[in-house]
Structure 1
């Protein structure tokens, strides 16, 4: 955890360097070297091993800090999921109500037989010789068929 404004400034710069540059870590006996590269620019850090007690405290602080971040992110995610579920439920409710209201205002466009005692538009029967493409128009020619009688 950062204890002063200077440490926070360095941690911000360090985070930005990791986001935008290539990092390479090499380990030699008791020391490690971290190198951040971008084109001709390079930044090198020599990292030394800490005594166990100090390393334990820093690692513990880091782990608790990470757990705090994870906990906050989980709460934000739950809140966002709850808001999304509420919005989806509202949309579903409005979609369910919309067809009912439309049925009151508009007749059903599909011709069906009477179902359950409700009123429905009955389909008009086609008269023989009536055109399927242009209903109401009757063919003027007599229907031609096979003549079984020889004349």
Structure 2
């Protein structure tokens, strides 16, 4: 694994545990040349570090070529409900798949002062990530150059894609709205009866 492939953007995803439906935040990032995977239920924190050599050894077993591959596998497993957590006394095992030979990572429970500091750092990293997305104009999954604001075209008139274009005729004053080809009729003024016709 080359040194460039060891770098990765921070990733964050939520995980609903298959075993007991408890919720976790799973995250990964690279700091000072160490790739870190962490897990928290907002009160306890579990974490593990991978040096470049350890990640390469682990990656060879599960066909992962880079730290980015590792992060993508975590996001995918969390997103499709394939991730689960087994909490032990001083560790937690993150399973990224249902089969026994699926990728699993053992994370150590962080003690109280370090765990609190890690939660604080995680909160600020997530806030900075959201702020950067707002500045850039949306999540990184959007294509560059596209507006993050998509128009809702559900109530717009449909346009004719092929064939001759029909231009609307301008309505002249006095034309009927119901029957545009005819002029409006003037209202009746009444009938004049002569008294002489009765004789």
TM-score, normalised relative to structure 1: 0.45
Q: Normalized against structure 2, the TM-score is what? A: 0.36
Greater length-normalized contact order (CA 8 Å, ≥ 6 residues apart): 2
Larger Rg: 1
Structure with the largest fraction of helix: 1
